Amino acid sequence: MPVTFEPAYLEASASGLLTDQIRIGQELMKDCCLCPRECRVDRNLVPGKVCGIYQKAQVSSYFPHHGEEICLRGFRGSGTIFFYGCNLHCAFCQNWEISNSTNGYPISATNLANMMIELQDQGCHNINLVTPSHVVVPILESLPYAIEKGLVIPLVFNTSGYDSLTALKLLDQIVDIYLTDVKFWNLSSAKRYLNAPDYPAILRRNLQEMHRQVGDLVLDSNGIAQRGLLIRHLLMPGHTSDTSQILKFIANELSMDTAVNLMAQYRPQHEVDEERYNEINRPITRQEYQKALEIARTAGLHRLF
């Protein structure tokens, strides 16, 4: 159904909420608890112990991305901004050259805003912030400048899902679209592959909070995402049980109308080899993918990418 869209951050700016959230976020950075690692360092002085990033964000690249879900890339691309650093560090990371690096230069809020405006001027359908969990505050700081320059397209928070509830609360009524990964539901798998045994519990909480904030995915008359939650589940070899639990949770605890991308593109990357992670040192099979589709449909999920 066609909708009249205005990004949430415009109302947040007009009401003073955005200013308040920036102030709160800047205080939190002095004793950083803006991801579940809770480094508790002053990031004005030292980098986060896991993400490796100081107070200012570092951008690896930005461009119109034509490889995202069709509801994001549309006809003119998703305005993607890739940030250096990450708070998760998956053993199989496909972007490890970026997520495990801090080789970029810190950029100012005004420069980040200029990137957003440049992407909008190129016709992108949204601003897609990739791996943003550790740079929530500099993103918020950039928005007033971007709004002043005329930013009016949806803001996409493209996250691993390993976010603190504190950070998500800062984004409430500011982010339009949550695009979140969901990898494992099993504690031992999360510990082995992500070094984050609390990942499943945090993910369950975060999915509910994201859905509470933005609801199910809303598309415009051209099928372009305007607001809502879109979940990516990367299918992993030999982890059908995780997939089953994840999809049933989404259907039962969020909504059967939740948009889900069952991602089949896993390939052994980064630290995965026969010696260390032999059990996931292969792509998924056609049978594993078909099983995931069957599980999703049986659970009642019907908005599948």
Domains of the chain: 8-304 (3.20.20.70)
Q: Which amino acid, residue 53?
A: I
pLDDT band at 96 (very low <50, low <70, confident <90, very high): confident
Tell me: pLDDT of 136 over 70: yes
Give the pLDDT band of residue 160 (cuts 50, 70, 90). very high
Q: How far apart are CA 144 and CA 108, in angstroms?
A: 13
User: At 35, which amino acid appears?
Assistant: C
Q: Is the pLDDT of residue 238 over 80?
A: yes
pLDDT at 171 over 70: yes
Q: In 3D, which of 305, 117, 137, 135 has the Cα closest to residue 223?
A: 305
pLDDT value at position 97? 85
Average pLDDT, stretch 208-227? 97
264 backbone dihedrals φ, ψ, rounded to 5°? -105, 10
Check residue 98 and give its pLDDT. Answer: 86
Can you state the percent helix, strand and coil of the chain, rounding each to 5? Answer: 40, 15, 40
> Any idea what the Cα angle at residue 105 is, between residues 195 and 157, rounded to 5°?
55
Output the CA torsion sign for 102, 83, 134, 236. negative
Distance CA 152, CA 60 (A): 24
For residue 255, pLDDT beyond 70:
yes
Q: Which helix or strand (DSSP H or E) is residue 143 part of?
A: helix 136-148
CB atoms within 10 A of CB 203: 25
Name the pTM for this structure: 0.96
Token digits for 242? Answer: 């995780």
Give residue-wise pLDDT tens across range 188-204.
999 999 999 999 999 99
Tokens in use for 147?
Answer: 């709004």
Question: pLDDT-derived band of residue 267, with 50, 70 and 90 as boundaries?
Answer: very high
Give the residue among 27, 22, 26, 41 at the shortest CA–CA distance from 144. 22
Q: What pLDDT does 1 receive?
A: 37
C-beta of residue 260 within 8 angstroms of C-beta of residue 233: yes
Q: What is the average pLDDT score of the chain?
A: 95
More confident residue, 125 or 101: 125
In this model, does residue 233 exceed pLDDT 80? yes
By CB atoms closer than 10 A (0-12, 13-18, 19+), residue 286 is exposed
pLDDT at 4: 73
Give the β-pairing of 177-182 and 155-159.
Answer: parallel
Specify the DSSP class assigned to residue 106. Answer: B
Give the model's pLDDT for residue 103: 80
Q: Round to whole Å and give the CA distance between 157 and 232.
A: 13
The per-residue pLDDT for range 66-87, each reduced to its tens digit, is 999 999 999 999 999 999 999 9
Burial class (CB within 10 angstroms; exposed 0-12, middle 13-18, buried 19+) of 255:
middle
Distance CA 79, CA 72 (A): 9
**Helices 17-28 and 8-15 meet at what angle, rounded to 10?**
90
* 105 CB neighbour count, 10 Å cutoff: 9
